[in-house]
Structure 1
Amino acid sequence: MTEIRFITQNLVSNLEQQLEQATTVYWITAFAMKSGVDLVLPSLVDAAKRGADIKLLVGDYLSITQPEALRRLIDAVPEAEVRIYQSHGLSFHPKAYLFRNTTENTLIVGSSNLSKSALTNGIEWSLSVPTPLEEPLFEEAATEFMRLFYHPQTLPMNSETFLLYEAKYNENNKAMPLSSLWANQDEIEVMFGTDGTDHEPVLIETNEIYSTDVTPRPAQELALKALEESMEEEYDKALAVMATGLGKTYLAAFFAERFKRVLFVAHREEILYQARDSFQHVHNSKKTGLYNATNKDIEADFLFASVATLSQEHHLAKFQSEEFDLIVVDEFHHATAPSYMRIINHFKPRFLLGITATPHRLDNSDVFGICDGNVAITINFLDAIQKQWLAPFKYFGVYDDTDYSQLRWVGTGYAEEDLARVQLHESMAEMIFSEWQSKKQTRTIGFCSSVRQAQFLANYFKQQGIHAISLDAKSDPDVRKSARQKLNDGELEIIFTVDLFNEGVDIPKVDTLLFVRPTESLAVFTQQIGRGLRLADGKDHCVIIDLIGNYRNADLKWRVFSPEDSTAKGVANIADALPMDCEIHLDTQVVDLVQHMIRKYRKPKDVLLSHYYELKADLGRRPTYLEFHLQTPVDTLSIRREFGSYFNLIQEAGDLSTHEERILRDYQAWLVEVEKTSMTKSYKMTLLHCMLQRGPSEWYKPILAEEVAQCFYEFLWGKKFRRDIDFTPAQQIKFSRFDQQKVAKHVEDNPMKFWSGKVDGLVRFENKEFWFDFDVAAEDQEILFQWTKEICEFRLHWYFERKAKRLN
């Protein structure tokens, strides 16, 4: 191993040297300037051509990062992942360059941002630390990089998000043109002081306070039976949705009895350690191990892996695709994130089990397709309360007169400084304390917006003689553990926290929840409610005290209690649908507020367009119909009601070219027919799917049933859940083997004859030939083909998704 080097000038030559042989390139800098990017761009391009894994993360702090620097990176190195960290005005100062090659790793950390002066002759200090391939220091740095790289506050850079940043940059630099000023002065950089705000560190809590029996409980027995049925039905993937408190991790441990080697994947270190302990409790003869920044127990029977570590290509490459018989993905509602998908796509286990307490589609992500439509079991917290597996609740919706419409919305939440301005004053604390005093029971968790709010409220409560404490991700692990024990024992009355007890940590005796923050995420709100619903001696219900103002999504949060109805009328009648012994009490002002928000802000067309623009910005391009369905929380059926077809929505959004607008007019009848034709079975869209295989110029032309029979059969028989949904047991016996004549006769009867009989002139079936009766100009063929394919793919997915939910 070469020695550690101290670098004071010409860092760029060191970066270029490392890039010559690098297989992995992870860079994180507070900002990037076009002059710095231009220096390293040729070497980055060469590394990308060799197939190096390149990830670059820069900050937007003070809008110093120049848009042109980002534009050059995404244009010249399209193979690289470039993301920007949205600092929301808080300091963001890391400067580190990580390299892997086939013989060693190198970590360069110092003061140099990605600018010409910093990389050449500026006054900068850096340390270049070479390490062996598996040395913990580099692994910790790489893991922490991945956590930051896919942090919710990061934004992937593409043609759409670039425009968003450029507009923000231009606006901010009108008042204080820091970036251009510095460029003119050869970018003499300034270091900014820290405000004390850091990212969440890795906190490990290895010992659970509470023990669990090793025999399955009723909910777990029910879930195990459902998973066994999935295997008997030849599924190799399944999702189990089980409310917090029902023992998802132990369910996975009991299910693992059927498999030799198991990989358990999670995104938080404490979940990994707790899962390892749970599995050891059930399987004390198995060898367990960890795979994270500091441990690489590859040979373990049951391996518990950090997503941030395992998702790195270097680490995935150490495992064969069929290395594990069972893969368990915890908190599966995260599974559509790039880091999770990299792991899921790499492995081919005998069975993939996703476990989550969060019903999918609740928060802009859908996992249905990942599990081939097999949601083996769903037990939400309302079902569990009804079966007396969880404690009932009494919910109090308390009116908060804060005007959130005056606060800035930044990315995925309100600007912290704006929230602090309205939250950190004595009158607000007094109101919160009064509501809590009148409704609370014995042990409370208070969920806050920020560390400052948690500390402010804890101090105020202590001044009132209450045993209170604030905890956050930076709190000492021993202090956290002690506080949990004291709350459970009754020595503490309330813990104020910030997203600390969302996943993986439980205090069963908690009987009061206090929400003093806007509900920005329904998934997180569901998880937090679960913290108070565990059964415990002396606890007969949980009190939920929730401050409700005119913040974003306030009118949608009722889906947590009444998933089928979030309308104003539904809000007033939620209590009628609650489990026995549950109550809901809303201030009159709350009901009036929600009704007002629904009338003012929830016009269906505006909601659809808003989600379309947000997804387009995230993807960097126009979303496909299926992507819009999978990655937004809206009811996709509303597209047909409001726009007639998805492409009419795109036109309303202003995203069609003149040529595309003309195609939309000329073929409107066809597009609406594909969008709206009835589907009691999938047969029409399956037929269309097969016809589309002939390509842009031929798909709509006459075809015989015999020609489509093989494709039709393979599509419906290729996935067991499709044939289970669309064929009776008698039909499955009849078509157990492919018989072209039998399948062709089936296709002729339905869908060919059936579809043609429903649409005058547009869909034809004569003399055993089926076709769509319109001509397509040569210049229109590719676009109409792609649009038809998009609608077909969406409708097939939506059909099987809906049918599978009904079966479950």
Structure 2
Amino acid sequence: MSEELKAAVLAGLYDQDKYLVDESYGPKMIMNQNKETVWEYLQQELLSCTSFVLAPAFITTDMLVPLKAICVQLAKKGVTGTIVTSDYLGFNSPEMFKELLKLPNVKTQIVAQGAFHAKGYFFWHDGYQNAYIGSSNFTRNALLKNCEFNLRLSSADNAEFTQQIQQILTQIMHQAQPLEPAWITDYEKNYLAPNAATRLAPTTHEIKPNQMQQVALKELHELRKNKTTKGLIVSATGTGKTYLGAFDVKAYRPKRFLYLVHRRQILEKAKQSFQKVLGPGSYGIYSGQSRDDNAKYLFATIQTMAKDEVLAQFAKDEFDYILFDEAHHIGAKSYQKIMAHFEPKFCLGMTATPERMDDFNVYQAFDYNLAYEINLSDALQAGMLCPFDYVGVTDYEYEGQMIDEKAPLQALVAPKRVAHILKQLAYYGGKSNGGLVFCSRQAEAKDLAKSFTKAGYPSLALTNETSITQRKKAVAALEKGELKYLISVDIFNEGIDIPCVDQIILLRNTQSSIVFAQQLGRGLRLYPHKKSTLILDFIGNYKNNYLIPQVLTADRSLNKDRLLTDLKQQVVYELSTINFEEIAYERILAGIQKTKLDALKHLREAYQKLKQKLGRMPKLLDFMRFSQIDPLIFTQNSQLASYADFVEKVERKKLFTSYEHQVISFLEKELLNGMRRHELLLLQQLVKHGSISREKYCELLLENDCYVDQAVLTSVENILTLSFFAVKAGKKLRSEAYGKQPLILVGDDYQLAPQLADCLSAPDFKAYVTDVLETGLLLAQNYAPTKRFTLYQKYTRKDVCRLLDFDKDISAPLYGYRVVGEVCPIFITYQKASTRHGYQNVLTDNTAIRWYTRSPRTLASQEVKALLAKNSAGQAQVSLLLFIKPSDAFGAEFYYVGQAKIAPDSVKEEQLAAGKKVKKVVGMDLIFEQPLPLNLLEKLKPLREDPEY
């Protein structure tokens, strides 16, 4: 390590061309930019260090939740640390100091009555130290959002800089005193909080549209300019849908307006919001005993308005503007009855969740006029919602069994489970304005409310048996602080607005991503002095655990590799974090691995949602533009030959001929991924014009920044004439699956093969092929066109054979590596699914990996000689291209980590134990041309130490 550290420091501070740049050790500026955050670096340091000192002058309580989650893991490993902070300017609150006392294995030192204004973070590793010094305090904005200047410096244990840091910290420790409850009590007596702006503008000012509402209002105006009579707004909970409706009504100036919703509680709050925007006027409620028939602005419940005798009192054109709130219920008979009766000049639907469990199409109900859409992640990024800290903790084991969907009531309300829940609440919760608890059963809610109250957390259970009046009283009591928690099963999933709520406690199985997002949203409304919301999720042995990361990471791609990668990042949205205790994290990972995300059931659901949204069969390009589904997922499903094959199964009708399906299968399985633009660009020209000269084609490639040489031109020809695929696949050639016939004819000009040209005369087939090519070129933006491989992108063995311009697809017998001429691709599965083969690759750090040849091999083997051969200039004759994947669980794709060189002194014959046998191999250290970045190292980490996991 010392040589790598030395090289990295010299590269960073002296000459980057002469010395090896190593991101792990070299000097680095960290500024919360380019998708990197200061917290991401501190988090990785904490999880890998042997000890640490955090020395920020200012700490905010809201940033302690993710630190608490990490400290739980560190305590189990025996890692200790120290926090040094101060009482300078009264920035640090007494509540924050109380929370610091909860951290296990961490001592806090206070520099009191002095101008301690430092911002430093220090981490000790084996043989070296990493120091982060700069402008970031331990606050949410400083660690996740603000433009900060922080310098990371690495130094060896015996370095002069390390000694300086140690001396400075020792000196500060002598001046400091331990944080103790008595000190906090004295501090609290004289504490005056500094003035701070809240996240909300004063409500005394005129209410004006926010950024989202301004865009939506403009889109609604454009709809009506085009004589459209219906429109739909899809907006995440808490983003101001009701005010948006009021602003649009104000702009429209209706003679008479009708607002409809299914709950009286929502109705009354909506009326108040409209009054704030519209000002004085005639407002009325039409529900139950309230029948304000003559009000200009009428607010009615669906249940009352849908009665025959009520509808009979209103003319069809009584209202020129009707607004349906919570419009995802529009498929209900009562809603449909009202829509059929009235004929307004404009009808607006608003919902946070247009997806429905049944087959009713909400988009169709509003003529597919989606005026505006903002999802949860967009709203968080725009600062329209309160940031959250999600913590996944392990649920209680009852009689040796983890809580699951079938757990009996006595397990759910067992005293030990309640004690476990309350212990986690006490650790992560801190001071709270109030929380909502979602559990599985009504009896559970009632028992938990009693147990919570008895433990000092005044709580009330609310079920569907609770009247509206009782619910209103309970909400009012929570807002006043008389109650700590409201515990329910499903009644608070939607239509409830309690902005002060800053804790969401989840004690149930995640039934659907829609419900999970709804429950998450209950705590994300902005509120004065509310800086973040705690989402505490008790994770049991639930079959739907895979849904949790889908919502948290906003990854609905159904791509398992991508979801696992997103989850490992553990930072989500702007200012929000996700954190898992170790066992809970493993349960989520296990849930993802056990679930077939690309199962036909999930693909069908995604297809139907997008079809409902568009009002037609979606194209592949539509999934790129209007959905989060990865279009490649249809080609990766072993049960499908192509997306066209899937559509025929879903729609139950024949779209294309057998030969057309073979062509489509080729295009999607071989070219759609966009890893090489060359074939896509050529086919796109041929579909448009029928032929193109070789010279014009080369010009086209250069115009698109693609590399051009004879090898790649020959490779393109081999691919599109299918000769590349003329290899055995069982008893057949693989090319037979693609129709046997070439797609193009090769001569002075490139031309479409006659059979394909004939098929392209059919408009539907031509449109489909055009869609595949356009989608492929859009996906190609993920790859550098000037190079055969893009660093840290993923490739299969077959992809590598194609991109290396091999004449044939030799991916089947390629196995771990193959020397072909002057190149050798090497494929490494870092975490083996089984140890029976004896191979255990080891990443010594981010600069090298220990690798072994196949067996039996010795230094005298021709293959090994080729790998070690040098030319007359002393350079390696064979270029080593290195591809690594974390484990077999991550599928067939490997990360390309660049070229590698063999460390000469590391090459030796070895014997590996494989079961009862011993293998003769040659082992060697492969030095990466570029050290692996920290985020890739995180992706390559084993799921757990057990190799059989």
TM-score when normalising by structure 2: 0.43
Greater fraction of residues in strand:
2
Give the greater-gyration-radius structure (CA): 2
Greater fraction of residues in helix:
1
- The structure showing larger relative contact order (alpha-carbon pairs under 8 Å, at least 6 residues apart) is 1
